[in-house]
Structure 1
């Protein structure tokens, strides 16, 4: 009787040990599984790079200044063609700002707070081609009639040329397909507007 009880005790202990071993393996499997579930999260970062973020942040600020310039046109221009162009620029760039803001939010960042319209963007993060200084914006705001039209067209040509330059950099160094497509759209649209404005200046 004692022998059978001892035998049962040994068998029971072996079973407990076996179950514990299985439980340990299950836990290891669960931990391994949880590790693999986080892998796609890091993989999602591969859909963009630092250039894509910089393009979004800088172009939002660039577009915002263009909207400020377009907003001046109705009360100051005497040229219907300039007025029409100002409306078209605003209509095209406002949706692009919203689109880029959505991308930056998705990527875990946000538009740079230092890149405000009308700032002197001669240094720091806001250093961008084609941006007007605060003094230039104030001078433009103080002009009217033909003087305003001439000044506005000249400034907007430079502004567009800067946007084209920034977009070409995005195409060369960016990795996000949507951002690179937008860069191409900006190049195509703003090159055409540059040609149009050069014609108006003549």
Structure 2
């Protein structure tokens, strides 16, 4: 009887080991799949893990400014579905939506975890003044947005590429400020991803403007 129990014990342990190995393998494959999915946009730190780290006023300002900045970029990108004629403009617009939508949620999660409001304090020192007069570098004015919405075809493609170039350059400037002055590891990592991803897209928009 004891030998049977020992045999069953060994068998159970072997089965648990096999199940554990299969689970670990599945997790590894999932991780590899996520890393290789270019449709995800930037690789973002989770809001939960980043919120646990130390932060300062620069981190708060970065999140508060980048949320509406991203929201306008997504608003612009959504217009391309019905107005753009150029295939690459449509592809880049879709990529902007995929990348910046989740980033907005991450930034909102950080502010909530930090106990900070989502709205910006325009009296904060070091605020940039972009074309929209909102205090954010690269933000578009109401007139800019109205002109973009009123255009279609090649005219839209040209306006969108030019406006998004300015918009991205503003985000890059804000992200560089975060890397220089921020403290939170997750926020600085996201800033680095924004710099890398949007610098690449600016290059593509300039190429499009050169051929349209």
Q: Which has the higher helix share?
A: 1
The alpha carbon displacement at 1:197 in A equals 0.7
Contact 1:101/1:110 (8 A) holds in 2? no
- After TM superposition, the structure 1 = structure 2 runs for residues 7-156 of structure 1, keeping only pairs within 5 Å, are 47-112=54-119, 121-122=132-133, 126-156=134-164
Calculate the TM-score normalised by the size of structure 1: 0.72
The alpha carbon displacement at 1:162 in A equals 0.2
The alpha carbon displacement at 1:46 in A equals 7.5
1:176 aligns with 2:179: no
Stretches of 4+ moved more than 4 A in 1? none
Contact 2:65/2:120 (8 A) holds in 1? no
Deviation string 1:167-200 (CA, Å, 9 cap, x unpaired) is 0000111000000000000000000000011111
The alpha carbon displacement at 1:45 in A equals 9.1
Against the structure 1 CA distance between its residues 197 and 135, is the aligned structure 2 distance closer, same or farther, given a 3 Å change threshold? same
Q: Secondary structure at the match of 1:64?
A: helix
Deviation string 1:45-73 (CA, Å, 9 cap, x unpaired) is 97000110000010001000000000100
Q: Kindly tell me the number of residue pairs found equivalent between the two proteins.
A: 152
Cα distance in 1, alignment partners of residues 164 and 57 from structure 2: 28
Q: Secondary structure at the match of 1:199?
A: helix
Deviation string 1:125-159 (CA, Å, 9 cap, x unpaired) is x4011000001100110001000000000000000
Q: Which runs of 5+ in 2 are unaligned?
A: 1-50, 123-130
Calculate the TM-score normalised by the size of structure 2: 0.68
Which residue does 1:40 correspond to in 2? Answer: none
The alpha carbon displacement at 1:111 in A equals 1.4
Q: Which runs of 5+ in 1 are unaligned?
A: 1-43
Cα distance in 1, alignment partners of residues 169 and 201 from structure 2: 10
Which structure is higher in RCO with an 8 Å CA cutoff and minimum separation 6? 2
Cα distance in 1, alignment partners of residues 205 and 132 from structure 2: 24
